[in-house]
Structure 1
Amino acid sequence: MKRILFIPIIALLFSSCELNELPKASATEEDIFGTENGLKNYSNSFYRDITSRSDAFKGDAMADYAAVNSLNDFMVKGAYSAEISTGWSWTALRNINQMIVKCTSPQLSDAVKNNYIGIARFFRAWFYYDKVVRFGDVPWVDHPLTVDETDILHAPRDSRELVMKRIMEDLDFAYANITGDGGDGTLINKWTALGLKTRVALFEGTFRKYHKLNLATTPADFFKMAADAGKILMETGPYSVYVANDPKLSQRQLFVSNQPVKQEVMFGLAFSKDQALMNDANWWWTSATYGPRLSLVRPFINSILNLDGTPYTDRPNYQTEEFYEECQNRDYRLAQLIRTPGYKRGGEAAPPNFASYTYTGYQPIKYTLDDPYYDNGAYNINAVPLMRYAEILLNYAEAKQELGQLNLTDWTKTIGALRARAGITSGNNSLPTKVDNYLKNTFFPDINDPVLLEIRRERQVELALEGFRFNDLKRWKMGSSMANLAWTGIYVPALEKLMDLDHDGKPDVIFYDGSKPASSITAPSGVAKVAIGGGSKNFQTMTTDNHLEWYKAVPRSWEEKQYLYPLPATAIVKNSNLVQNPGWTK
């Protein structure tokens, strides 16, 4: 079974923006809830609300390791407020609850009804998980409200404890009752519900631990939920770590294939040129003007291991290695994540594009197709994974180590398996015993456990640019990294020196003192000329040890209040019993 297009009639059946708006019906309840085909069509509308197809590949547009052309208001002190806050929309919940309460037809078997109720409860769990991550306490509503239910419409928010309990109940029901196999990977199944449980439970356990929330359900309770769900999925589920014919392309194939690679992708979005349903990943990731020119930063690149399993920062000259050298003998994922020497587009060498894209030299390719044809519009048809088996392995490993229970077998089946897929030759079958001080001091100064540190390293490398980073930093209480991680780039040995980034015999870029006019710099045709400093409007500068640095002149901000978003001011106007999140009142 394939789900590519949503059905617009169903999507509009019960449309509302607020909890107190009545649905607008355009089909009878018997048409929708009285037949299996009606339930199937109605449930298809839920998929729209998980993530927009247009932004599924943009999840890390705001992350500590992502240098971009301009800062999100959320990261600028005083720029974000309740007056511009978004996300307090309940349309999707109302549509979901309609199915849950109205899927009662005696013409359908209990198995059929429970399957579709399970699908609805999966989506309700995902909906509420997003709301808790964004706002903390939120109102729990388990049925479509009418305008007469003023006690609920104007009630205070329910506690995080209650909402998380209901989320777990929904996911348990979904796992127990969903019967479909997920079709071509674009539909959820029981295993997707179990996978989401590991994601939610790990988030909540770590959030409660590191934020020191004193609630009835302890962090350890949630770690156990995540570990138990992960264990079941790993032992009895149909998924495994995908390895391509060329191991150097194993991870990249998951992001450039036209259909989800079902061996590892548990849930993804598919696209179709025939049905005029495409995405603009190439355009967003390669354009000088359309996307944010997102460039990964050097501290993150430094955290990617050597092929022999040793830290890259153990190399004696790592601080002065030029781009070509620093890319040699590294974890295969480096060359599947960014443009490295040997990467080609349209059959031509394609080094980092300083002429119109990258600021740091670390230019992402994870979601982009190699043919430049796709660069100038919404032409992409490659599938976008939303849940991978690799994530489940990482969730399981972290939960087990947070419980103090991760053993060598667990390590080998999770972190070891992912590193083996990435070509790493050592350490896959042995637990770490030494703290990597660079990793600790740069990213996780409060973590002294070498195993937990390596699990976190593996997570940030394996899931890079997949939309997890910001929430990971929030749950670990490491939001300060959003403000403090240096947006530095490649080593530049000297200004006005032609640099052949990929060693193909052709110079690619020359950096020069920005106080000089570009016309005074001599360089062959096709070589990018990049000004360093020279004025308040030039955010491309260089560190004292000759590494590129971007946007240093504009400070990024992180305060305690930013672990939660503010409730939109309009929501509080409509319901005076809502209390604003701490720190967001004027």
Structure 2
Amino acid sequence: MKRLFYIPVVALLFSSCELNELPKAGATEDDIFGSESGLKNYSNSFYRNITSGSDAYKGDAMADYSAVNSLNDFMVGGAYSAEISSGWSWTTLRNINQLIAKCNSPKLSDAIKNNYIGLARFFRAWFYYEKVVRFGDVPWVDHPLAVDETDILKAPRDSREAVMKHIMEDLDFAYANITNTGGDGSTVNKWTALGLKTRIALFEGTFRKYHKLNLATQPEVFFQMAVDAGKILMENGPYGLNISADPKTSQRQLFTSNTPVTKEVMLAVTFSKDLALLNDANWWWTSATYGPRLSLVRPFINSFLNVDGTPYTDRPNFQTEEFYEECQNRDLRLSQLIRTPGYSRNGQPAPPNFASFTYTGYQPIKYTLDDPYYDNGGYNTNAVPLMRYAEILLNYAEAKQELGTFNEADWSKTIGALRSRAGITSGTNTLPTKVDTYLKNTFFPEVNNPVLLEIRRERQVELALEGFRFNDLKRWKLGPLMANLPWTGIYIPALDKLIDIDHNGTPDVVFYDGSKSAPSITVPAGVAKVAIGGKSTNFQTMTSDNHLEWFKAVKRTWDDNNKQYLYPIPSAAIVLNGNLTQNPGWSK
């Protein structure tokens, strides 16, 4: 099995570190750019430079709903600065532009050349999208620079408006010229280009709208781009939602399969035990020391609907339901996202592990394999999706609703289809008419439209832990959630009480007053003992209404005066090019 980011030797011959470095070649240009095999080998190197599998399954380590063992410097007031900022790297761009500039051999047909130029422009669009998301205005460079092009090397940043225009042109060219229309899920095809266009256009349209950017191209233009691209893909592409024989596994199967489930997965990183190409998803997600012990938080878990389509928070006693009760009759994606009652590993019950992992009780399983063998190192072989059809449905639905043209038929084939797969039995074919006040007040206070509110609910549920959340909050201008969403957990009926979390007849955990040395009751072997408060270093506390709370003692910060919606330009880059200006709020 091929891993997506395999790096051919011939491609490395043209690697470089800066925009103005000359490539070091060990093969002739004709060997590389004068044959289809050379172009294929060279273009394969681009895959390693887009979001990696590791980035995908670790992508929500910094999100409002992710309680972790230590805060990223970006979330601690004054800890992040231009001196430690990163991401201002252009090696990838130079390698891409090399192919675009040199793919002109008369020995090759225009179709072959345009196919590989289309691939290069797809990767250039992805590269620049990530730069715009991180920094805003960035220098646009469309060819490999020579050492004497100081007018470009020392130029100011180009405007966001100009760069986004070029990104869309690149994606249109890629869609029109890439010849691959299918594949094994690990390579880019023409439909992947359309999918990326929906992602980028939706991001840019909402960012411009909610940040009130006064730019020439209005948000509605980008919303229409996302709708048009999504419509073509939905009507003509080869993809659909994965529906397995067991609806309780249809979604999670996409993240635990060794090969991409090509019915839905449009692009993935693949791995192989035979080739010693493995990932460490289990180790990262189930280690007490290696990963961040990421636990999901109760406000987010509360956003999962009941299986009958009603809000969970409409249950009269939802705040005092114990873990077992709150997991009953819920959206089936909940049991595919976290350990819920009935979850097992190697045939043994596996409730949330308070002894060495979870802080809140909501322990993720989305990317992990169920055999504990994989927990102790980089042993995973499961493919990691980077783009899937479900995202396209969500992008299309949100963009169309932002345009005001979303209708009942659109709901049925997008949000309704996703909810049907998740076992939800009602409301899948009719537009919502009632605002869920809990969802609005907790996450989206500025949203009064019930349809848009439910589309956003569906996005956060369906794409949980897939690396979209931070960017979604940024484009909706909801950064304060990063600082203010409570990191609360399951309801605890009493301290010094043995609790059978999954109701399988065996106690799993006891919570006790941390000011004491131990629980006041006899605790059987194998039962986790969790101290609540008491020590200055103990970040496990409990709310006044008896819910676990994590890290309340450490203040998370967010400067909503636009500062943290962009990262600072690294100070070293400004030293090299004095014409670069710093992003607002960040000092040089």
Per the TM alignment, residue 174 of structure 1 is displaced from its structure 2 partner at its CA by 0.3
Counterparts of 1:174-573 in structure 2 under 5 Å?
174-518=174-518, 521-559=521-559, 560-573=562-575
Per the TM alignment, residue 180 of structure 1 is displaced from its structure 2 partner at its CA by 1.2
Q: Deviations over 1:274-323 (max 9, x none)?
A: 00000000000000000000000000000000000000000000000000
Q: Secondary structure at the match of 2:81?
A: coil
From 579, 582, 585, the equivalent of 1:583 is 585
Per the TM alignment, residue 23 of structure 1 is displaced from its structure 2 partner at its CA by 1.9
Per the TM alignment, residue 12 of structure 1 is displaced from its structure 2 partner at its CA by 2.1
Q: Is the 8 A contact 2:343 2:349 kept in 1?
A: yes
Per the TM alignment, residue 347 of structure 1 is displaced from its structure 2 partner at its CA by 1.1
Within 2, Cα distance between the matches of 1:543 and 1:14? 57
Within 2, Cα distance between the matches of 1:355 and 1:367? 21
Q: Is the 8 A contact 2:157 2:580 kept in 1?
A: yes
Taking structure 1 as reference, are residues 527 and 73 closer, same or farther at Cα in structure 2, changes over 3 Å only?
A: same
Per the TM alignment, residue 17 of structure 1 is displaced from its structure 2 partner at its CA by 2.5
Taking structure 1 as reference, are residues 246 and 123 closer, same or farther at Cα in structure 2, changes over 3 Å only?
A: same
Q: Is the 8 A contact 2:8 2:44 kept in 1?
A: no
Per the TM alignment, residue 28 of structure 1 is displaced from its structure 2 partner at its CA by 1.4
Per the TM alignment, residue 54 of structure 1 is displaced from its structure 2 partner at its CA by 3.3
Within 2, Cα distance between the matches of 1:511 and 1:34? 68
Q: Normalised by the size of structure 1, how large is the TM-score?
A: 0.99
Per the TM alignment, residue 2 of structure 1 is displaced from its structure 2 partner at its CA by 5.3
Within 1, Cα distance between the matches of 2:382 and 2:470? 25
Q: Is the 8 A contact 1:2 1:183 kept in 2?
A: no
Q: Deviations over 1:120-157 (max 9, x none)?
A: 00000000000000000000000001110000000000
Question: 1:109 maps to what in 2?
Answer: 109
Taking structure 1 as reference, are residues 347 and 197 closer, same or farther at Cα in structure 2, changes over 3 Å only?
A: same
Supply the AA of the counterpart residue of 1:252: R
Within 1, Cα distance between the matches of 2:549 and 2:279? 31
Question: 2:139 maps to what in 1?
Answer: 139
Counterparts of 1:67-106 in structure 2 under 5 Å?
67-106=67-106
Within 2, Cα distance between the matches of 1:223 and 1:206? 8
The reply to whether residue 47 of structure 1 matches residue 47 of structure 2 is yes
Q: Deviations over 1:475-524 (max 9, x none)?
A: 00000000000000000011011110100000000000000112755211
Q: Is the 8 A contact 2:98 2:144 kept in 1?
A: yes
Q: Is the 8 A contact 1:75 1:558 kept in 2?
A: yes
Moved more, 18-27 or 112-121: 18-27
Q: Is the 8 A contact 2:496 2:520 kept in 1?
A: no
Within 2, Cα distance between the matches of 1:339 and 1:486? 21
Within 2, Cα distance between the matches of 1:229 and 1:496? 57
Q: Is the 8 A contact 2:7 2:44 kept in 1?
A: yes
Question: 2:27 maps to what in 1?
Answer: 27
Supply the AA of the counterpart residue of 2:570: P
Question: 2:126 maps to what in 1?
Answer: 126
Per the TM alignment, residue 10 of structure 1 is displaced from its structure 2 partner at its CA by 3.3
Task: State how many pairs are aligned.
Answer: 586
Q: Deviations over 1:157-187 (max 9, x none)?
A: 0000000000000000000000013421100
Q: Deviations over 1:415-458 (max 9, x none)?
A: 00000000000100000100000000000000100000000000
Supply the AA of the counterpart residue of 2:404: G
Q: Normalised by the size of structure 2, how large is the TM-score?
A: 0.99
Supply the AA of the counterpart residue of 1:577: N
Within 2, Cα distance between the matches of 1:244 and 1:80? 45
Q: Deviations over 1:532-553 (max 9, x none)?
A: 0001100000000000000000
Within 2, Cα distance between the matches of 1:324 and 1:30? 65
Cα RMSD between the aligned structures? 1.1
Within 2, Cα distance between the matches of 1:17 and 1:511? 53
Per the TM alignment, residue 56 of structure 1 is displaced from its structure 2 partner at its CA by 2.7
Question: 1:14 maps to what in 2?
Answer: 14
Within 2, Cα distance between the matches of 1:407 and 1:53? 36
User: Where do 5+ consecutive residues of structure 1 fail to align?
Assistant: none
Q: Is the 8 A contact 1:3 1:187 kept in 2?
A: no
Per the TM alignment, residue 53 of structure 1 is displaced from its structure 2 partner at its CA by 3.5
Per the TM alignment, residue 8 of structure 1 is displaced from its structure 2 partner at its CA by 4.3
Within 2, Cα distance between the matches of 1:218 and 1:519? 61
Q: Is the 8 A contact 1:2 1:184 kept in 2?
A: no
Taking structure 1 as reference, are residues 411 and 307 closer, same or farther at Cα in structure 2, changes over 3 Å only?
A: same
Within 1, Cα distance between the matches of 2:11 and 2:85? 25
Q: Secondary structure at the match of 2:54?
A: coil
Within 1, Cα distance between the matches of 2:356 and 2:479? 30
Q: Deviations over 1:339-393 (max 9, x none)?
A: 0000001110000000000000000000000000000011100000000000000
User: Where do 5+ consecutive residues of structure 2 fail to align?
Assistant: none
Q: Is the 8 A contact 1:2 1:187 kept in 2?
A: no
Within 2, Cα distance between the matches of 1:225 and 1:180? 22
Per the TM alignment, residue 33 of structure 1 is displaced from its structure 2 partner at its CA by 0.5
The reply to whether residue 66 of structure 1 matches residue 72 of structure 2 is no
From 573, 576, 583, the equivalent of 1:574 is 576
Q: Secondary structure at the match of 2:217?
A: coil
